[in-house]
């Protein structure tokens, strides 16, 4: 058996990766990833030992030409990961919010998403839970590292994690959909039509396409970028010096607006973006021009914000465990105690305000006018503490091809795709009839194997001229 271990590590925030090739007879195993992690692995069997050795030599040569060099595993420390630390003081509000139910995840939570069917919460322990709107816990996903944020792109739900990967949670087996470069320390992200927008510690904005390939990057306006939101017209990037809008194709700056304090969170509606800042305000900015249209004043640094459709009501959560509601013009309507620490992220839906908090709770607040008026008089419902089910379905994330199940036949209604080599890269194309054969299919890179065919539940066309997988992925024997 022979083993070659290489590293590419650059000072000043550059690449920090390893690549290991092991040859044992006719089998070549490759392991690669961020230094200090287990990485991803792939194994290929060749007809002869000679062909295995030749293939390994080619792989090693390719990496050496890219700047990798022989190293001793374990000598270089793994790159530091920024884990967001927040202070959460007791609330000064006189009344407690009308909490309908509360689910404690056990670790501080930043990730939240609420859709037609479920509520999602992701915490710093790497756990993502789904709950019904009534509070019943439906399932648990366990990811390799802390969850920084949860975002949705139509049907697809993604979790950005501290291990530098973005996991697709749309099927029973969470798979790494994007592998972020080692020099990008994720602070926040958004996804629009399969294009990933990443805001990082250094204040940069990095854009990655559906093939998990770098497109463009911009920075320099500020640091500590905790906000990124995207739509068809622009990518809205919030950082220590305000909000900057970039064209989605190429990143040209469309406008820049300084805000009152560094941006700590962002929200968007059809015509406006909302920036929550360290200087105790939420500011509403026009998407078209960047002009500040309204300011909503709180009593502490604002960790999160949200708005009802059309911006009729604007909500904010501060560093002192309070949650606020404002009218569209900035008039404060109420301030209440969350009862669970500061709201680190939030979302409004159908007269309910969902919060994820510093103590790791997902909190459902009745934000209807009647309930809030009663709370201000001191009358609140008894919050129901949600418990885990005895037999909770649990799904473990994976980056390995071996974790994908296999099928011998194609189930009715499924779609067959194939992995092909094209220009030195692996692509996924549709084999089944009725689809455009020249379009690529967005597909986890770690499970691609040239020549292999896979069965997927369904494919959906994206506006960028590619297909997205919906449902489970299985290898076709």
Cβ contacts of 120-127, under 8 Å, gap ≥ 24: 120/150, 120/157, 120/169, 121/150, 121/356, 121/362, 122/147, 122/149, 122/150, 122/159, 123/147, 123/356, 123/360, 124/83, 124/162, 126/161
Question: Which pairing describes strands 441-442 and 466-476: parallel, antiparallel, or unpaired?
Answer: parallel
What are the strands of the beta sheet with 27-34, ordered from one edge?
A: 40-45, 27-34, 16-24, 2-9, 69-70
Which pLDDT score is estimated for 58? 85
Closest Cα partner for 200 from 82, 346, 115, 95?
A: 82
Residue 366 has phi, psi (to 5 degrees) of -75, 105
Count of CB atoms within 10 A of residue 341's CB? 25
- DSSP-derived letter for residue 266 is E
Which pLDDT score is estimated for 82? 67
Could you tell me the residue ranges of all domains in the chain? 2-70, 99-394, 400-476
pLDDT in tens, the chain (477 residues): 888 888 886 544 445 788 899 999 999 999 888 777 777 788 899 999 888 888 888 888 888 777 778 877 766 655 556 667 778 899 999 899 999 999 999 999 999 999 999 999 999 999 999 999 999 999 999 998 899 999 999 889 999 998 888 999 988 788 888 888 777 788 999 999 999 999 998 899 999 988 878 889 988 688 999 999 999 999 999 999 999 999 999 999 999 999 999 999 999 999 999 999 999 999 999 999 999 999 999 999 999 999 999 999 999 999 999 999 999 999 999 999 999 999 999 999 999 999 999 999 999 999 998 998 898 888 889 999 999 887 898 888 876 666 788 899 999 999 999 999 888 788 999 999 999 999 999 998 888 889 999 999 999 998 889 999 998 899 999
Which pLDDT score is estimated for 35? 78
d(CA 141, CA 395) in angstroms, rounded, equals 5
Which pLDDT score is estimated for 126? 94
Fold classified for 99-394: Methylamine Dehydrogenase; Chain H (2.130.10)
d(CA 452, CA 454) in angstroms, rounded, equals 7
Count of CB atoms within 10 A of residue 393's CB? 12
Which pLDDT score is estimated for 467? 95
**Coil, helix or strand at residue 38:** coil
Strand ranges, E, within 105-181: 109-114, 119-123, 127-131, 137-142, 147-153, 156-161, 165-168, 175-179
d(CA 323, CA 337) in angstroms, rounded, equals 6
d(CA 325, CA 308) in angstroms, rounded, equals 10
Which pLDDT score is estimated for 87? 82
CATH number of 400-476: 2.40.50
Dihedral over Cα of 246, 252, 255, 260: its sign: positive
Closest Cα partner for 363 from 29, 380, 374?
A: 380
CATH number of 2-70: 2.20.140.10
2-70 and 99-394 have identical folds: no
């Amino acid at each position: 058996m022979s083993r070659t271990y290489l590293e590419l590590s650059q000072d000043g925030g550059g690449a920090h990766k390893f690549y290991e090739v092991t040859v044992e007879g006719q089998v070549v195993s490759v392991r690669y990833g961020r230094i200090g992690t287990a990485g991803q692995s792939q194994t290929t069997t060749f007809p002869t030992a000679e062909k295995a050795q030749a293939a390994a030599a080619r792989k090693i040569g390719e990496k050496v030409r890219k700047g990798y060099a022989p190293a001793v595993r374990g000598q270089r420390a793994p790159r530091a990961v920024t884990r967001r630390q927040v202070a959460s003081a007791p609330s000064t509000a006189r009344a407690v919010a009308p909490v309908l139910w509360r689910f404690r995840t056990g670790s501080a939570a930043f990730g939240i998403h609420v859709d037609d069917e479920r509520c999602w919460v992701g915490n710093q322990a790497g756990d993502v839970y789904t709950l019904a709107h009534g509070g019943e816990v439906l399932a648990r996903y366990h990811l390799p590292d802390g969850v920084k944020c949860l975002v949705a792109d139509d049907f697809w739900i993604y979790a950005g994690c501290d291990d530098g990967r973005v996991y697709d949670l749309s099927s029973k087996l969470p798979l790494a959909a994007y592998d972020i470069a080692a020099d990008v320390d994720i602070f926040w992200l958004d996804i629009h039509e399969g294009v990933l927008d990443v805001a990082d510690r250094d204040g940069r904005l990095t854009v990655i396409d559906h093939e998990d390939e770098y497109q463009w990057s911009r920075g320099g306006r500020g640091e500590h970028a905790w906000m990124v939101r995207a739509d068809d017209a622009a990518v809205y990037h919030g950082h220590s010096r305000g909000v900057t809008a970039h064209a989605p194709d190429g990143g040209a700056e469309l406008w820049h607006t300084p805000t009152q304090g560094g941006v700590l969170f962002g929200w968007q509606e059809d015509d406006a973006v909302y920036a929550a800042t360290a200087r105790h305000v939420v500011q509403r900015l026009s998407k078209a021009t960047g002009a500040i249209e309204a300011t909503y004043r709180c009593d502490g640094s604002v960790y999160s914000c949200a708005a009802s459709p059309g911006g009729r009501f604007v909500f904010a959560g501060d560093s002192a465990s309070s949650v606020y509601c404002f009218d569209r013009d900035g008039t404060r309507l109420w301030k209440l105690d969350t009862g669970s620490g500061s709201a680190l992220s939030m979302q409004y839906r159908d007269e309910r305000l969902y919060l994820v908090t510093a103590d790791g709770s997902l909190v459902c607040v009745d934000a209807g006018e009647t309930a809030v008026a009663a709370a201000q008089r001191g009358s609140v419902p008894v919050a129901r503490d949600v418990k885990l089910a005895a037999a909770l379905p649990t799904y473990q994330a994976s980056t390995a091809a071996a974790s994908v199940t296999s099928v011998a036949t194609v189930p009715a209604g499924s779609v067959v795709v194939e992995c092909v080599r094209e220009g030195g890269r692996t692509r996924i194309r549709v084999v089944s009839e009725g689809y455009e054969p020249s379009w690529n299919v967005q597909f986890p890179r770690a499970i691609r194997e040239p020549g292999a065919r896979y069965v997927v539940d369904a494919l959906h066309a994206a506006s960028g001229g590619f297909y997205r997988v919906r449902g489970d992925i299985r290898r076709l024997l």
